[in-house]
Amino acid sequence: MARIDVKKTYKLYIGGEFPRSESGRTYVVNDAQGNLLANAAQASRKDARDAVVAARKAFGGWSSRTAYNRGQVVYRIAEVLEGRRDQFVAELRASEGVTAAKANTFVDAAIDRLVWYAGWADKITQVVSSANPVAGPFFNISAPEPTGVVAVVAPSGPLLGLVSVVAPAIVTGNTCVVIASEAHPLTAITLGEVMATSDLPGGVVNLLTGSAAEIAPWLASHMDVNGIDLTGVTDPDLATSLEVAAADNLKRVRRAPEAPVDWLATPGIDRLTDWLETKTVWHPIGV
């Protein structure tokens, strides 16, 4: 009798666990040839609310860690991803239909991107903080602090693009609720497995699969979300409506790019500073 393969069940990743959508819905994910690849959970607005609760609960502990320790944790994600690189190469080839060489390039770049941002963890403060000249006997010092809970609409690049938007947010002390690429969600959930088996605390990154058009408006208007990254939004009307909704509680917004992003290009520090806020402290000299 031929053995029946154990098919992988792709769920959500919320609070360090892998629940099914509370709605019970799924949607079909096809491979590059249009054949059935898997069924992915279709997250609902209730799932989005649960993810925000998990992200907020994790924020205090994560943001209070030293920058050096956060860098170590993100580096550990890169280590675990390196150990599972063959699985990610196979998933990229199946979902996108790319060659083995190109899939290897993307996986290598994703691992290197994690290491790159991990290295910035304890250096970004020195770059963007300052001692300000003031008239009077005071020290005046400006230093960055994390924004809080950041909602991210991930780009279609299912691994490198996802890593490139999530890593800078968490390495600076924020927590995330991420809507994975609707067309390529499976690699995102596998990345969630990598995070769950690394040293990343549950709730720091929460991954939802499904329709951004359905989930993103609830995250944009959610009063406990402090910022939203619209990098993966390709519909201009949806992007505009999300920016309007985000204005209700003055969220920080990274706008949708006007041109396609080359994820293989060396990043700058703008994605780090997007999710940092500046706190200025006055202190009298000699006291």
Strand 252-254, strand 227-229: pairing: parallel
Tell me, what's the pLDDT at 16? 96
Of 43-52, 153-162, 172-181, 198-207, the range with the lowest mean pLDDT is 153-162
**What percent of the chain is predicted at pLDDT more than 70?**
100
∠218-214-156 over CA atoms, to 5°?
110
Say which residue the tokens 């819905």 belong to. 25
Work out the mean pLDDT of the chain and round it to a whole number.
94
Say which residue the tokens 């602090």 belong to. 145
What 3 state SS string does 237-258 have? Answer: HHHHHHHHHHHHHCCEEECCCC
Confidence of residue 14 (pLDDT cuts 50, 70, 90): very high
CB count, 10 Å around CB of 287?
Answer: 7
Q: How far is CA 158 from CA 28, 63, 259, in A?
A: 16, 27, 18
Indicate the residue type of 69: N
Query: What is the full DSSP assignment across 106-123?
Result: HHHHHHHHHHHHHHHTTT
Q: Tens digits of per-residue pLDDT, 91-139?
A: 999 988 889 999 999 999 999 999 999 999 999 999 999 888 888 888 9
Query: What domains are defined for the chain?
Result: 26-284 (3.40.605.10)
Q: Tens digits of per-residue pLDDT, 226-248?
A: 999 999 999 999 999 999 999 99
Q: Residue 254's beta-bridge partner residues?
A: 229
What order do you get walking across the sheet with 227-229 strand by strand? 205-208, 175-179, 149-153, 227-229, 252-254
The span from the CA of 174 to the CA of 60, in Å, is 9
pTM for the complete prediction? 0.93
Confidence of residue 287 (pLDDT cuts 50, 70, 90): low
The span from the CA of 116 to the CA of 129, in Å, is 20
